[in-house]
A and B are shown apart, each in its own frame.
Chain A
């Protein structure tokens, strides 16, 4: 490395070198442009301002909060409040309009469906599926079969109070465990299984004793499911004569239900969601396709 004593000018570029040399390679003296340096200095000064104005330094158990008192949490709260204000007029209209009238106003339907779709995705989709298609034991909300009634008020009540939930007004009713609790014998269970399948025209084994099944049904099941097996929406007893089976229609599934009983739970959403959201959810679920007029 040469001593930087004399000014050396590079031949090719005409630029002065720094005087440093490594293996014959010299470094041109091309300092950063002045404007660039000043921009850099300004950013340093700017950052000091930032330290003072915004929360910056972590302390032992807290942090410097800054002159503005700005908080990211508060910023989100403000944003959400602004969003609410923006939507207030429509939300108010949903709140003060009876459910039946929402369904006859296209603007309100559109808003309620949009709000309902979001609320559904957040709260209902884990059990009922993203499009309300349901799953084994979780009702499909697109079909026309309703355990607890498919009118707007029925749906709203179910959402608000839940099914077998902790709510005082919850929908109540459950299928007893006929087998496990030794109410019915094994042959009786097999007989009533075949009888129930025959109600919705499903194939039954040639040796099925439908007469015994019918008797067992009348004695044990008709109280809830009705004499003709048409179900009872007061207590959520399914219609056994239609094509829709919540848990499945094969023999083993029905036998399993008779052995151990059924009784899935839906939370009472009235405890968690506000009234307009529940109304929007009701309209959304109703318009999925299965809602009754």
Chain B
């Protein structure tokens, strides 16, 4: 039995797509609006792009699974995990960087860079993200590898699925799902390790002492990984993912895409027939219609139909086609990464051009550089401490017994360093003022102490013994680190009644 026949046998629906379904009285053009899923059995393949995919899969998954276990010494009072999202402590740690909640704009910058990198990748080499780096692709690839390991390659799987439920088939399917669930479970497990000290959490998870939330998240991510990578696969790309729809707007004729070079491949015919045609001096294409490019495609499309939404640009069809070209003694890359402009140029007999530097790519690169530069500048110049001030709202000001006007403020100092710091407060802008910090003896030097990696609130009272020039005048809270001399400022207003005329 040939592969096509097998496929038709296994999937009567697939085979009859486009033709009438159950009742025979449906006219040919009234095809159903809804097509049932056609199960895809991608065939294994060897070659350059498959090797690249394996390498990317190994590197990305290794980072994902093992990153939480990398240690990073931050001193006695801080966690020693290199990458940690500490919700209860409200800190984000990334190697030498520590982000406080009010610095989430760094994540905004990171998101802009991520989006622009995606755009740039797209402009240079099409949807390489989809084919190599997208988590859906990586995990689906891993799940497909497990499936092949247990159930055999395309033909074996199709034959088994077409046949009856033998004990061996039950066993194999059971084993496959078990392995899938184990990988999915590990995926969910690795996720929660980013939110707590990894070795401790692993121990707690094993002994049943971990918080309920950890188990819940492992459960959720096990379920989603198992469903998305094991069962939904290419449907995620085709129906759920917005990227294939967006990317059409970002691509142009210079972008590299996995392309069937129809100028070389057509007219297609069998190996023997094309050899005869060539001997006779008649036009003959290199494509021998072996359908290997279709069989290996993880989204089940025929690349020879041109660029299409479902194509994730993984290049496996290139590998498949190259191996066939090698066997029949024709040059490789009948299918290859190519651009629309070069396809046209070749047909017109012009030499191909590779134009990576275009307005589009330069713009994306510039935006990435600008945002990255701003982030780096912000990161390097940010204060080791910070101060913010909130004015009392009720009452806005108070008259004291001797006629002075008092304003109350809540001052919050953030000490981002890992040791206790002392800060000296001075207040400028209000004439003839007396500043008092609640909790410190009156008249004492206005020096406050904040513990390591902490923020602390102080109540500050400012009394003015001279009339303020207006109902509201600017006031500056100036804090100096006693040891290092670095300083930070916060601005607010000093409120007073209108000066009597």
Contact = CB atoms under 8 A, between A and B. Distances in A.
A79 B241 CA distance: 44
A144 B401 contact: yes
Contacts of B27: 11
Contact of B399 (A11, A13, A131, A244): A244
Contacts of B399: 143, 243-244
Nearest to A288: B408
Contacts of B261: none
Nearest to B25: A11
A12 B32 contact: yes
A103 interface: yes
Interface string A135-155: 000001011110000000000
B419 interface: no
Contact of B403 (A131, A243, A287): A243
A130 B457 CA distance: 20
B88 interface: no
A11 B30 contact: yes
Contacts of B23: 9, 11, 14
B402 interface: yes
A109 B394 contact: no
B394 A287 contact: no
B26 A12 contact: yes
Secondary structure at chain A's binding surface: helix, strand, loop or mixed? loop
B400 interface: yes
A256 interface: no
Interface string B7-29: 00000000000000111011100
Interface of B: 21-23, 25-27, 30, 32-34, 392-395, 398-403, 406, 408, 438-439, 441-442, 456-457, 459, 461
A242 interface: yes
Given A131-B392, A243-B403, A13 B32 contact: yes
A244 B405 CA distance: 12
Nearest to B30: A12
A289 B30 contact: no
Given A14-B26, A131-B393, 19 more contacts: A9-B23, A11-B23, A12-B26, A12-B32, A103-B439, A104-B439, A106-B456, A131-B394, A134-B395, A142-B408, A143-B400, A145-B400, A239-B401, A243-B399, A243-B402, A243-B403, A287-B438, A289-B406, A289-B408
Contacts of A109: 438-439
B398 A140 contact: yes
Interface of A: 9, 11-14, 103-104, 106, 109-110, 113, 129-134, 140, 142-145, 239, 242-244, 287-290, 293
Pairs A-B, 5 closest by C-beta atoms: A133-B395, A131-B394, A242-B401, A14-B21, A243-B403
A68 B34 CA distance: 50
Contact of B394 (A9, A104, A133): A133
A239 B401 CA distance: 9
B461 A289 contact: yes
Nearest to B458: A106
A186 B448 CA distance: 57
B35 to A, nearest CB: 12
Contacts of A12: 26, 30, 32-33
A143 B398 contact: yes
Contacts of B22: 9, 14
A120 to B, nearest CB: 12
B183 to A, nearest CB: 25
Contacts of A244: 399-401
A129 B394 contact: yes
A145 B394 CA distance: 18
A130 B401 contact: no
Given A14-B21, A129-B394, A142 B459 contact: no
B393 A110 contact: no
Nearest to B459: A287
Contacts of A145: 400-401
B396 to A, nearest CB: 8
A41 B457 CA distance: 56
30 contacts: A9-B23, A11-B23, A11-B30, A12-B30, A12-B33, A13-B32, A13-B33, A13-B34, A14-B23, A109-B438, A109-B439, A113-B459, A129-B395, A131-B393, A131-B395, A140-B395, A142-B406, A143-B399, A143-B400, A143-B401, A145-B400, A242-B402, A243-B400, A243-B401, A244-B400, A288-B408, A289-B406, A289-B459, A290-B398, A293-B441
B327 to A, nearest CB: 43
B166 to A, nearest CB: 26
A104 B457 CA distance: 15
A12 B25 CA distance: 10
Contacts of A144: 400-401, 406
B394 A130 contact: yes
A113 B459 CA distance: 11
Contact of B442 (A133, A287, A293): A293
A195 to B, nearest CB: 19
B406 A143 contact: yes
A243 B402 CA distance: 6
Nearest to B450: A106
Nearest to B395: A133
A142 B438 CA distance: 12
A259 B124 CA distance: 91
Nearest to A109: B439
Of A110, A134, A142, A293, the most chain B CB neighbours within 10 A belong to A142
A130 B392 CA distance: 11
A139 to B, nearest CB: 11
A197 to B, nearest CB: 15
